[in-house]
Every structure is written in structure tokens, then in C-alpha cells.
Amino acid sequence: MPQPGQEALVSALRPGETVTARIDWERRHKLMRFHTATHLLCHLVPQLVNGCSITPESARLDFNMTDPLEKEALSDGIARLVGAAHAVEIGAITDEELDANPALVKSMSVQPPRGTGRIRTIRIGDAIDFQPCGGTHVANTSEIGRVVVTKIEKKSATTRRVVLGFA
């Protein structure tokens, strides 16, 4: 999806045109680190997710829950999982396997795309996290580095927002 200000650039492209893409690695790596950290949060807070946002400066995950969350405990939990250097593996399951295990989808609002018969999955460690995901991830949790919970907000009666930052 084009960012604000990029619409003119995108609409100027014609089908079949050759383009050169370049990854802003510094920005991309921060997004990969934060995104992988949100998977660790899913392990620490085993509740359904009803919102998510990731920028190079911060990340947030909204959990559908009413119980309070502890900032320090979550930061410690993330540090422990980062320190344990769990492998992050990309895999795939079939539509039928997903149908047989609907609880694999932890997002309340977004369902994995179907149509090709294969759905990309992410597995962290033996049992840290396993879910359909098309995002960008680091290859090992140790690569996440120092990420801490900077804020926990009660966004609504049934939503707890956890905000992550780089320490």
C-alpha cells in the first residue's frame, strides 16, 4: 500500500515496466525485530488480538481481555525469550489443516488469505508460537535485541493495549 505522498509515483507505473526496488535495511530490520517481538507477546499473553500496529519507533498489540497486565513482567518475559535464542521458522499448512485448527488464528479481525491452498506459518521454538503470518521476521529471537514494554493502556472495557519500544 502506498504511503502518503507516494500515490503519484505508484500511479505513474505501467504494467510490464522494469523497476528497481531497494530495501531500507535499517528501517526494515527494526520492523522485523518489533514484529517478531509481537509473536513473543502472543505467547506471554495467550488472548485473541483485535488490533496491531508496527512502526520503526514502536509497536502495539491490542488484546481482547479484561484482566490487568504487568509491564515489568511482560518486559522480563520478552527478555527471557530473546535471551533463549529460539529459532524462527517459516513453514506452511494447507487450507484443510487450518480449518481443522481454527485456534491457530489469533487475530479477531484478519483471516489468513486463502486461494493457493497453502498458508504461510511462523513457528518460534518448540512451543513458543505457531500461527499463520505473512509478516517479516528475524531468523532467531536473539536478533530482536532489547525490546521492552513502554506502556500498557486500557483502551476499552475489553481491550488491553501493550506498547513496545527499543530499550
Q: Which is nearer to Zn ion, 77 or 135 (CB)?
A: 135
Please report how close the Cβ of residue 96 comes to Zn ion at its closest, in angstroms: 22
Please report how close the Cβ of residue 4 comes to Zn ion at its closest, in angstroms: 25
- In angstroms, the CA 133 to CA 39 distance is 10
Candidate segments 6-14, 58-66, 74-82, 132-140, binder of Zn ion by CB under 5 A:
132-140
Q: Does 135 bind Zn ion (CB under 5 A)?
A: yes
In DSSP terms, 59 is beta-bridged to 54, 164
Q: Which is nearer to Zn ion, 40 or 69 (CB)?
A: 40
Q: Rg (Cα) of the chain, in Å, rounded?
A: 17
Q: Does 133 bind Zn ion (CB under 5 A)?
A: yes
| Sequence-distant (≥ 6) Cβ neighbours of residue 150 within 8 angstroms | 58, 163, 164, 165
Strand order in the sheet with 129-132: 88-94, 118-124, 129-132
**Inter-residue contact 167 to 148 (CB < 8 Å):** yes
Which amino acid is located at 9 in the chain? Answer: L
Candidate segments 58-66, 93-101, 134-142, 153-161, binder of Zn ion by CB under 5 A:
134-142
Instruction: Indicate the Cα dihedral angle 155, 37, 27, 167, nearest 10°.
Output: 80
Please report how close the Cβ of residue 79 comes to Zn ion at its closest, in angstroms: 20
Touching Zn ion, residues 58-117 (CB under 5 A): none
Please report how close the Cβ of residue 122 comes to Zn ion at its closest, in angstroms: 5
Q: Which is nearer to Zn ion, 34 or 75 (CB)?
A: 34
Count of residues near Zn ion by CB under 5 A: 3
Please report how close the Cβ of residue 61 comes to Zn ion at its closest, in angstroms: 11
Residue nearest Zn ion (C-beta atom): 133
How far is residue 65 from each of residues 8, 35, 88, 129, 153, measured CA to CA in Å? 42, 21, 27, 19, 12
Residues engaged in binding Zn ion (CB under 5 A): 122, 133, 135
